[in-house]
Each structure stands twice: as C-alpha cells, then as structure tokens.
Amino acid sequence: MRALSDWFRRNHRPLPWRETYDPYHVWVSEVMLQQTQVDSVRPYYDRFLARFPTVEALAAAREDAVLAAWSGLGYYSRARNLRNAARRVVADHDARVPDDYDRLIALPGIGRYMAGAILSIAYNRPFPVVDGNVRRVVSRVHGWARPEERLLWETAGAIVNGGEPRTVNQAMMELGATVCTPNAPRCGDCPLRRGCAARKAGAQTEIPAPRKRPATVRVDLHAVLDRNRNGFLMQEDRGLWEFPMLTEPPGDGFIHLGHCRHAITHHRVEVDVYRGKLPRRRGYRRVRFDDVPVTSLTRKIHALAAAPTDA
C-alpha cells in the first residue's frame, strides 16, 4: 500500500474538506458528496459550515434554515437526516461525533459507507469504505467482473489495514475518481498497475461489468408561475417550496414561457412553464421566491419567469 499512499500524498486534489480532520467537517462533506459531484459540492460546503460551524449550531437550527442552506444540492432527506443526527449527537453524545461504529450507524442517515468514512478519515481508524470508485479499482485490480458486495468490503478491509487508514481510504477513492476512471483509465499513471489483473488482460473497460440500470421513466408536468406584488403562489412540501404543478396544460389564458428538463434518479421530468392566474388553491400561499428554500428544479422553472414569451 506504500505506492498507493505515496501517490495520494503527491497527487490528491486540494479540496476544502481535505484541510481538516474535524469529524463534523468530514461528516458534512461526506453527506454532501453522496450522489453529488465534487464541483457541485464545493461552494455548498463552505457556505454550510459558515452558517452552521459546529454540530451544536446545526442541532439548534430550524429545519427550514438547514434546507435553505442545502437548497439546490438535491436529495433533501440528506439535510433532514444530518440535522436530526446532529440533534442526537448533542443530546446523547455530549456534542462529540461518535468514534465507534455502533454509535455512528445508529444515527439517522449514517450507513456502512458513511460510518467507515468518518471513522477512517476523521479518527484514522481501520474501517473500510466501498463507494463506486473503490468498487471499480478493487474489481479491476483483482479482475472481478461481478464481485459480491461482501467480497468487496472484505477486500477493502484488508486494504485499509495495510497502511494509514485515512490515507489509504482516501487514496483508493481518489484513484478511482481521477485515474482509474470508468471509460478511459490512465494505467500508465497508476500506482497499482504492476499487480492489476484488468490491465494485464487488457480488459479495463469490461471490468467491472456494467450494472443494469432501471429504465428511465419520463414524467410530463406543467408548472404555473402565478405572481402578483405579494410574490408567487407556492406550496410547501416537507420544508421545500414549489410552484403549482399540473398534469395537464392549464389551457386558455396562460402564456407558455418555455420548457425545462430535470433528471431525478431514474426519472426524466419534462416541465412546460406558463404564466397566468390560477383559481384559489388550498394549501398555497404568496411567498417571495428568494425567501424560501427550493429544489433545483424549482429554480430552473423560476429562471423562465424572466424569459421572453414564445406565445
């Protein structure tokens, strides 16, 4: 593992969450990085920690303030779980992020990967992590096309025990993100190339075998921007605000402003956006757009409010 660790020390990207091993900071970064690209996370990470600098600050915050800081990052259950877990850390663990597996995994939103990441990166304890990057690197090195999860975790466990845990785990993830990439691995730059079965067989891009993805489901919706001097007509759903969404076009009297598209897991949402006055609707209120937390889909819809009409 020395070649891998040396490679990481020389080549890792200088990311803001790599400037500290503070357990709360490591935890926040790992939650944000779940299902989200590094470049999308960067600005959110700094802003979030400026707003909630400690686990106590996060625990004391209102849910809508936390969602507002998360607004646009997606997968909002992550933010709700993070806040709920922070409250448990303050109430049950004296505001210290636990350094043992059983206590960590009992917190909302923390699974095996997250517990391993916090324990190894923040506390330098030899717990494995298996994310998509580690899965790809381990599979290629061993030449496994379809390895079982159990085997991957066992192998990652043996790897993390072979060096400094925080360096080895971050190195495996970084190698997968920057060198051992899905389609064009740069084997010439790889510290593991000598022992890599996939490279020897020239089978890098066939290993691991692609997983079957669920078919994409298209969803057609029609959003209405109904604005007066008191703001937009919007409705709150679990802390986030959205415009009225119809399953059919709103009909005469509405001006078509444009179209936007959004991908959520295996759904492709196609939204036509209109301006017009809706009849009174239960559960809706007039709000100022900039005052409420919204999803990135709602932000895309709002961007069309200023668009020239195509009617």
- Going by the DSSP 8-state scheme, the letter that residue 227 receives in this structure is E
Q: Binding of ligand SF4 at residue 300 (CB under 6 A)?
A: no
Active site residue 270: no
179 binds ligand SF4 (CB under 6 A): yes
Interface with ligand SF4 includes 138 (CB under 6 A)? no
Angle (CA) 12 143 137, round 5°: 15
If the CB atoms of residues 143 and 258 are measured against ligand SF4, the closer one turns out to be 143
HEC readout, 117-153: HHHHHHCCCCCCCCCHHHHHHHHHHHCCCCCCHHHHH
Question: Could you tell me the smallest distance in angstroms from the CB atom of residue 25 to ligand SF4?
Answer: 29
Round to whole Å and give the CA distance between 186 and 131: 20
Listed ranges 194-202, 214-222, 225-233, 247-255: which one lies at the site for ligand SF4 (CB under 6 A): 194-202
- Say if CB 70 and CB 289 are below 8 A apart: no
Smallest gap, in angstroms, from Cβ of residue 11 to ligand SF4?
13
Binder to ligand SF4 among 78, 193, 227, 285 (CB under 6 A)?
A: 193
Q: Kindly state the smallest distance separating residue 174's Cβ from ligand SF4, in Å.
A: 12
The least distance separating ligand SF4 from the CB of residue 162, rounded to whole angstroms, comes to 16
Residues 55, 141, 173, 304: which binds ligand SF4 (CB under 6 A)?
141
Residue 92 neighbours by CB distance under 10 Å: 12
Residues 204-233 that bind ligand SF4 (CB under 6 A): 204
* Separation in Å, CA 104 to CA 78, 90, 108, 212, 292: 15, 13, 9, 31, 32
* Cα atoms in the Cβ-side hemisphere of radius 13 Å centred on 59: 17
Residue 82 CA: distances (Å) to CA of 52, 109, 120, 192: 12, 7, 19, 36
**Contact call for residue 68 and ligand SF4 (CB under 6 A):** no
Nearer to ligand SF4, 199 or 300 (CB): 199
Q: Which positions lie near ligand SF4, rule CB under 6 A?
A: 137, 140-141, 179-180, 185, 187, 190, 192-193, 196, 198-199, 204
Active site members: 30
